Structure 1
Amino acid sequence: MSLLELFIIAVGLSMDAFAVAICKGLSMKKINIKKAGIVGLYFGAFQGGMPLIGYFLGVQFQDKITSVDHWIAFILLAIIGINMIKESRNSSCEVAVDTVADVNTDNSLSFKNMFVLAVATSIDALAVGITFAFLNVNIIPAVSFIGIVTFTLSMIGVRIGSVFGEKFKSRAEFAGGFILIIMGLKILLNHAGIINF
């Protein structure tokens, strides 16, 4: 997997965290670099950690399903992408944060609130980690890269939320879902020999 492909997947995966970071930014009375950094660290660490767990789970079954691994990668990425697109239709930040974590959209950055949000927004990355195992991706650089991209975009999301508000949340989720579907389709078509890039 090329660096560009990994970057595209990292951006796609981070869109859930980005959308929730926008909501966090909306709810905070005062934004500073420390608060944005806390949000970024939680989301970046979990978005990088979940694929690592998924990778080790996937390695356990890799030799048994190599003949259909491209289909599994496509199906997992497509399901994640479709779910993100469906979620993008719900443009309410209050509903997004409350549904994910059952917390109020206040400026609370407590461990409990942020832990639940970080886990909920990174579950999709677990499935991507399984896909990485089937594609023999070099996992440590990959998860580090995903974590850094998510950290950066989450910090930006907090700032966007404080300045521009809700309108970017649904667009971010839609874009992330679309990106993951396209990447899954590319893996499938590459394996079938229809495309070769």
Structure 2
Amino acid sequence: MAIALGLDAFSVSLGMGMIPMRLRQMFYIGIVIGVFHVLMPLAGMMIGKLLSEKFGSIATVAGGLLLIGLGLHIIYSTLFGEEESKVMPVGFGLLVFAFSVSVDSFSVGLSLGIYGARTWVTILIFGFVSMVMTWTGLLLGRHAQKMLGTYGEVLGGSILVGFGIKLLFPF
């Protein structure tokens, strides 16, 4: 299950990695996403028995909309905006990015809370796997961006939009 949740982080990070950034920033992004992949399922597990599945659906929709908005903003900024207007995963933008990537782990936490999974072992594995997969996606995206240039940034934004749509309409 940790790998499945980490694959979302990997895929979205692949797109985000196409935005030029320093290795230090990539390191922080991996840490923050790993922390969110611990906190979100923990919150889900703690209140899993109290909330219905509808709340998990609402969280998934919110994450999907955030990814679509972020991706569209990156595409627009790359094609029509100035360099300063691009969304960078720093500060509040990093928190929004980490939330949108880890919102599906909240829903998983809801169901695991109902079934009484071993909380700390489970969430620490989720966080570690997501952190490593995020770093891998960011580094691969960075190499792809070097080869593709501006088109890589548009592709990265498109990947974020695609995963936002996938969250909204799972198929």
Change in CA separation of 1:178 and 1:158 when aligned onto 2, cut-off 3 Å: closer
In 2, the alpha carbon distance for the partners of 1:116 and 1:185 equals: 27
3-state SS, counterpart of residue 49 of structure 2 = helix
Total equivalences in the alignment: 160
Are residue 165 (structure 1) and residue 162 (structure 2) matched?
no
Q: Deviations over 1:120-179 (max 9, x none)?
A: 542323533422312428432222222112112222333344443221112122223323
Unpaired runs of at least 5, structure 1: 25-34, 102-113, 190-197
Are residue 144 (structure 1) and residue 120 (structure 2) matched?
no
Change in CA separation of 1:75 and 1:183 when aligned onto 2, cut-off 3 Å: closer
Give the CA deviation at 1:17. Answer: 3.5
Q: Is the 8 A contact 1:91 1:169 kept in 2?
A: no
The range that moved more, 149-158 or 133-142, is 133-142
The range that moved more, 66-75 or 162-171, is 66-75
Give the CA deviation at 1:184. Answer: 4.9
Change in CA separation of 1:2 and 1:168 when aligned onto 2, cut-off 3 Å: same
Give the CA deviation at 1:96. Answer: 5.0
2:101 to 107, 119, 125: 125
Are residue 66 (structure 1) and residue 52 (structure 2) matched?
yes
Q: Is the 8 A contact 1:16 1:173 kept in 2?
A: yes
Partner AA of 2:27 in structure 1: L
Q: Deviations over 1:59-90 (max 9, x none)?
A: 33321213425523542343233223422432
Give the CA deviation at 1:55. Answer: 2.3
3-state SS, counterpart of residue 169 of structure 2 = helix
The equivalent of 1:30 in structure 2 is none
The equivalent of 1:78 in structure 2 is 64
In 1, the alpha carbon distance for the partners of 2:63 and 2:95 equals: 18
- Higher Rg of the two aligned structures: 1
TM-score (norm 1): 0.61
The equivalent of 1:175 in structure 2 is 159
Matches within 5 A, 1:1-197: 1=1, 3=3, 5-15=4-14, 17-20=16-19, 23-24=20-21, 36=23, 38-92=24-78, 94-95=83-84, 97=86, 99-100=87-88, 118-119=94-95, 121-136=97-112, 138-186=122-170
Q: Is the 8 A contact 2:56 2:106 kept in 1?
A: no
In 1, the alpha carbon distance for the partners of 2:53 and 2:139 equals: 40
Partner AA of 1:72 in structure 2: I
The range that moved more, 41-50 or 58-67, is 58-67
TM-score (norm 2): 0.69
Q: Is the 8 A contact 2:45 2:111 kept in 1?
A: no
Q: Is the 8 A contact 1:74 1:184 kept in 2?
A: yes
